[in-house]
């Protein structure tokens, strides 16, 4: 998997597993700083939740005009920055100056925005700034950062993770969340005991 850039993170908590997966692929998630958010119109319905998640973690938000306008209408503090084709200083300049620690960009159909987005993604890679290109990934990143701020990262061997005891513990932990169905051969779970 290393040759294709894939990485894996395992944990009993999704947010920590996600943080480990990002670390495995070379993306060091920042615990503070500034997040650049630029979402296309199709993903803007998720913008308020996303922005509040990062603000709640202590991040400053900067955005280009359309995203900033949407946030301002919702009463969410945001600093505006120019798109690369609009003049200077633009988002790329701020990134090059080390003033952006995380980028969230969803592509739009606009030709100029696609060119700007491509340049920003390349710059983010060059400056080792984590870049997220989906709303789901951005929300998972916010949860991962929250978890990293409140707990220590522990390594778990695959053998230990997948032994029967841990599978049962995992099932008990996430069963109330309805995330999995218990295999029938493990019995049934009642409050406080395994039957």
pLDDT tens track for 30-54:
999 999 999 988 888 899 999 999 9
Task: Give the bridge partners for 104, in sequence order.
Answer: 37, 132
- Residue 139's pLDDT is 95
Q: 182 with 117, same domain? A: no
Q: Alpha carbon of 147 to those of 11, 16, 159, 186, 188: distances in Å?
A: 12, 6, 24, 30, 30
> Which is higher by pLDDT, 121 or 107?
121
- 144 & 171 share domain: no
Residue 95 lies in a domain: yes
Residue 66 φ then ψ, to 5°: -65, -45
In a domain, 20, yes or no: no
pLDDT tens sequence across 49-85: 999 999 999 999 999 999 999 999 999 999 999 988 8
Q: What is the pLDDT of residues 121-172, one digit of tens each?
A: 999 999 999 999 999 999 999 999 999 999 888 777 777 766 655 666 665 5
Cβ neighbour number for residue 37 with a 10 Å cutoff: 25
Regarding whether 144 and 180 lie in a shared domain, the answer is no
Is 24 part of a structural domain of the chain? no
The boundaries of the domain holding residue 61 are: 31-150
Distance between CA 95 and CA 130 in Å, rounded? 11
């Amino acid at each position: 998997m290393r040759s294709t850039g894939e990485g894996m993170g395992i944990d009993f908590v999704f947010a920590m597993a996600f943080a480990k997966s990002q670390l495995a692929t070379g993306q060091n998630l920042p615990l503070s700083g500034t997040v650049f958010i630029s979402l296309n119109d199709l993903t803007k319905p998720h913008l308020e939740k996303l922005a509040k998640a990062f603000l709640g973690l202590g991040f400053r938000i900067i955005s280009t005009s359309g995203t900033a306008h949407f946030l301002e209408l919702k009463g969410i503090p945001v600093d505006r920055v120019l798109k690369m084709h609009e003049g200077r200083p633009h988002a790329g300049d701020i990134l090059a100056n080390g003033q952006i620690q995380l980028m969230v960009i969803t592509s739009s159909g606009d030709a100029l925005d696609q060119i700007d987005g491509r340049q920003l993604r390349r710059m983010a890679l060059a400056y080792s700034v984590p870049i997220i290109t989906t709303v789901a990934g951005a929300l998972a990143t916010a949860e991962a950062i929250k978890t990293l701020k409140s707990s220590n990262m522990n390594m778990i061997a695959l053998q230990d993770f997948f032994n029967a005891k841990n599978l049962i513990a995992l099932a008990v932990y996430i069963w109330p969340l309805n995330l999995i169905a218990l295999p029938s051969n493990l019995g049934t779970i009642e409050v406080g005991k395994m039957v």
